[in-house]
Amino acid sequence: MRLFLDTASIDEVRAAARYGVISGVTTNPSLLAKEGGVSYRQRIQEIASVVDGPISAECVSRKADDLVAEARELASWHPNVVVKIPIDSEGLEAIHRCGAEGIKINVTLVFSANQALLAALAGATFLSPFVGRLDDVSYDGMELIRECVHLVETHDLPARVLAASLRHPLHVAQAAAAGAHIGTIPAALIPQMLKHPLTDIGIDRFLADARTAGLI
């Protein structure tokens, strides 16, 4: 499973890029609003200068014609831009039309296998089931990841399953085990994923032994 960073912070992107584990970035207007007035286009281009991979930028229009026009504009910002469109009837039409024009689409707010199937058939590049939001309403978000992966692989559909709304390290490990092709995570999860008390204990013991041996 590849990892994308879910942020509009260029500082978070730069910090995560040092580890070499991030292969893309997902953004949205809510994340951008935290960034103090920077233009969406400027921030996408800044991110693209750091991460050479898919960068999702989200449409805010609600009608198919407007979504397509907005998608064209977003896609013009950089060759790596993937346009985020939520799955509903207007979105589905826009996904199909954008796909016909070669615009890469990340279909968001996927909460069922049927939605994922329709989006994949319409030409989606990425399918984004929102795991945490399903968990919030007492559904098993990881089961939807498994269903979506099974769906695209059984029927040889080109769309990739991008596990979204991953909120803690266990979510990340579970999404990878469920076969998600990509998981998008907030920057705060990277140090949490690294942390384990036995690793800390082991390092402390190695250092103590090294001091005893006169190595440090």
The C-alpha atoms of residue 35 and residue 151 are separated, in whole angstroms, by 37
Contacts with 127 (C-beta within 8 Å, 6 or more apart), sequence order: 107, 110, 116, 119, 120, 148, 152, 159, 160, 161, 162
Q: What residues are labeled active site?
A: 84
Distant-in-sequence, close-in-space partners of 140: CB < 8 Å, separation ≥ 6: 134
Residue with the two structure tokens 């076969």? 179
Q: Which one, of 190, 144, 183, 143, lies nearest residue 165 by Cα?
A: 183
Residue 33, amino acid:
A
Q: Residue 29: helix, strand or coil by DSSP? A: helix
Q: Which residues of 135-154 are buried (b: 16+ CB within 10 A; e: fewer)?
A: eeeeeebbebbbbbbebbee
Nearest to 148 by CA among 172, 133, 128, 132: 128
